[in-house]
Amino acid sequence: MANIPEEKKYTPGAPQSGQEDARPARSSWQEAQPAASSPLHSWEEGPPAAGSGPSIPADLSADEAELLEQTLAEIRLRRARAAQAQPAAPLGGNAVSMVPEEDAPAQDEALAEALPDGAAVPAEGPAAAATRGQRFAGRLLYILGGFIPHRGDSAAEIVRKCIFIVALITLIGSLSYIINDMLIQPMIGEMNYNTVRSWYDPENPVDPPADYDPANYPEGIMDSFKALYAMNSDVRGWMTYTDPSQNWLKIDYPVMYSGDNSYYLDHNFQKAKHKDGALFFDERNHIDSPQSENKVLIVYGHNMASGHMFARLNYFLNTRNGLNYARSAPTINLDTLYERSEYKVFAVMLLNTRSEDGPYFDYLRTSFSGDADFMNFVANIRARSLFDYSDVDVNTDDELLILSTCTGESDAKFPEGRCVVVARKVRDGESSLVNTGSIVRNSDVIMPLAWYTNQDMEPHAYYSGNFTIPGLWSDDGTTVPPTSSTDDNTGDTTGTDGTTTRPPVVVPPSTTPPTSPPSTDPTDPTNPTDPTDPTEPTEPTDPTDPTDPTDPTDPTDPTDPTEPSEPTEPTDPTEPTEPSEPTEPTGSTTLPETSEQTGEQTQPAA
């Protein structure tokens, strides 16, 4: 503000130089002015136009009037600049001054000096503190005004705005679902299971809660499970299935049992609702005491997009790298309440569950009529395995473990498929080491019929009745001579066991790899377990091996023109050429299911 010479400043009640004090008292002049004549008041009702503003009292001298007009003009200028920098909030009862806070005291002082005696400067309203919020609300309403229908909008404009609003709501809803489904829920699930993992340490058992009654523990329970059992008495075991470096396979969860095949589909260990659910035993399995016997243990788990639960079992279906994955994960650890056990994998299957996709193979069996029935079940599993595990034999006294999860349609080439891993329990005194170099692709696998038809491929000879499965037993324990199997709607079975004969397996080249193979997989043929191969020849000395004569169903091999080619499979460098064989089943990602399913209707759609 311009400096006012001391001699020209107006002093209320004092005569100016060269004039008599003939004016009326300042109080009477003030009383004569209407409320709206206050310079600040008139300004707050809006910036005055050029030349407009409060009138200068006529009884002021020329010098006084000039000084007052200069003061008011400078205030107007400052406020005009403030208005340009900060848009005014809505005016009214809560009108907010646009004068910057740092300038307001100086302007008020100048105005007080310029105004006649008693003409006080009006105080700022209390709404000044809400300036920023009002400004934001005003801008938001302005923006939304371009998308919200208003009275006077044309019909086309209203339709446009309505479509935009619907699209915006859909976008927000979709993003919320994706964020919750792919980020928030998996994080919650992993946090929950990390907590559960802290309660289980088989090497150093965790102390159970001090207030838990020990009388509630089942007889014979291992100390390592007491803390878990105190938290949830439905726990029956703990499964650990990983590759040596844990690069791609990380299954490390408790296994539950509820007496049905549905509860733990959407409940976690804490019995809270969660889409990950939990791993759980089939309702027909029983692990109630150390004396409980289960010829086949079946464990279900979801195929989660987050990679949790059994999702990564589908990596075995990878046409290009599935063999490397299989070689890097040959054994499974499954501890129950009463014992610790290890299992050797001997089959990976891709199966169908719908009748419209071909005959169904009943892989969910837990009981058998006899040894022949059991061995025929094993022969049918091997026939549908993507890989040949020649180093892992199975006999009549063995116990099996089956892991079942869902597959993606892009991998299986048909909907509602199942990826199934089958293993047999390591025998007493047997080494758990597996010659991973002996694991090769099955060159004549029986894939689900839909796998062929949906890719315009010629179905396997099994579906035309021109193929029999090697290794089938008769009721008297001898191998069954090769016979033609027929294709019907009841399943892939050729006998009372509801199963069919076994061909070798080929991995389909068309399946898309879920992920790149672990960097260590290419070295699998030289797996550190290979040095143990010299000890493997001792395995045939197992007392149970006399039952192996069933495996040497090689007498039937001469009838199978593809069998002689098996010895060439270990030469992995030639495997990349397998996809070029147009008639080969080129590796299926699921196993066909046959016969009536005794437990499939309750099987989780993982």
DSSP string, 248-278: S-EEEEEEE--SSSSGGGSB-TTS-B-TT--
Sequence spans of domains, the chain: 6-144, 199-214+226-530+565-598
Helix (H, G, I), strand (E, B) or coil at 427: coil
Backbone angles phi, psi at 151, to 5 degrees: -65, 135
CB-CB contact of 424 with 346 (8 Å): yes
pLDDT for residue 150:
79
Side-chain-side CA neighbours of residue 509 (13 Å): 12
> Measured between alpha carbons, how far is 391 from 326 in angstroms, rounded to an integer?
13
CB-CB contact of 447 with 417 (8 Å): no
Domain covering 199-214+226-530+565-598 assigned CATH 1.10.3470.10 in the classification: no
Instruction: Retrieve residue 263's tokens.
Output: 């509860």
**CA dist 215 to 173, 229, 231, Å?**
51, 12, 15
Instruction: Retrieve residue 438's tokens.
Output: 């002996």
Query: Who contacts 164 (Cβ-Cβ below 8 Å, separation ≥6)?
Result: 147
- Please state the rounded mean pLDDT for residues 328-354: 97
CB-CB contact of 323 with 440 (8 Å): yes
Note the pTM of the prediction, 2 decimals: 0.60
Neighbouring C-beta atoms of residue 516, cutoff 10 Å = 12
In angstroms, how far is the first alpha carbon of the chain from the final one?
78
| pLDDT top residue among 118 and 509 | 118
pLDDT for residue 126:
53
pLDDT higher than 60, residue 155? yes
Amino acid at residue number 201: D
| Residue count (the chain) | 606
CB-CB contact of 469 with 503 (8 Å): yes
| pLDDT top residue among 591 and 12 | 12
Amino acid at residue number 184: I
pLDDT higher than 70, residue 452? yes
pLDDT higher than 70, residue 451? yes
CB-CB contact of 301 with 405 (8 Å): yes
Q: Which of 148-152, 153-157, 196-200 has the lowest mean pLDDT?
A: 148-152
For 374-387, b where at least 16 C-beta lie within 10 A, e where not — what string?
bbbbbbbbbbbbbb
pLDDT higher than 90, residue 460? yes
> Measured between alpha carbons, how far is 58 from 492 in angstroms, rounded to an integer?
114
- Please state the rounded mean pLDDT for residues 243-254: 94
Percent of the chain with pLDDT strictly greater than 70:
61
> What does the CA dihedral 322, 324, 329, 330 come to, rounded to 10 degrees?
100
DSSP letter assigned to residue 598: S
> What does the CA dihedral 445, 450, 455, 456 come to, rounded to 10 degrees?
100
- Please state the rounded mean pLDDT for residues 68-78: 81
Question: Within its chain, how far is the Cα of 166 from the centroid?
Answer: 27
Looking at every residue in the chain, the average pLDDT score rounds to: 74
Side-chain-side CA neighbours of residue 388 (13 Å): 22
pLDDT higher than 50, residue 261? yes
Q: Tens digit of pLDDT for each residue in 378-399?
A: 999 999 999 999 999 999 999 9
The enclosing H or E element of 228 equals: helix 226-231
| Cα dihedral across residues 400, 403, 409, 411: positive or negative | negative
Q: Tens digit of pLDDT for each residue in 538-574?
A: 343 343 343 343 343 343 343 343 333 333 343 343 3
pLDDT range class, residue 604, cuts 50, 70, 90: low
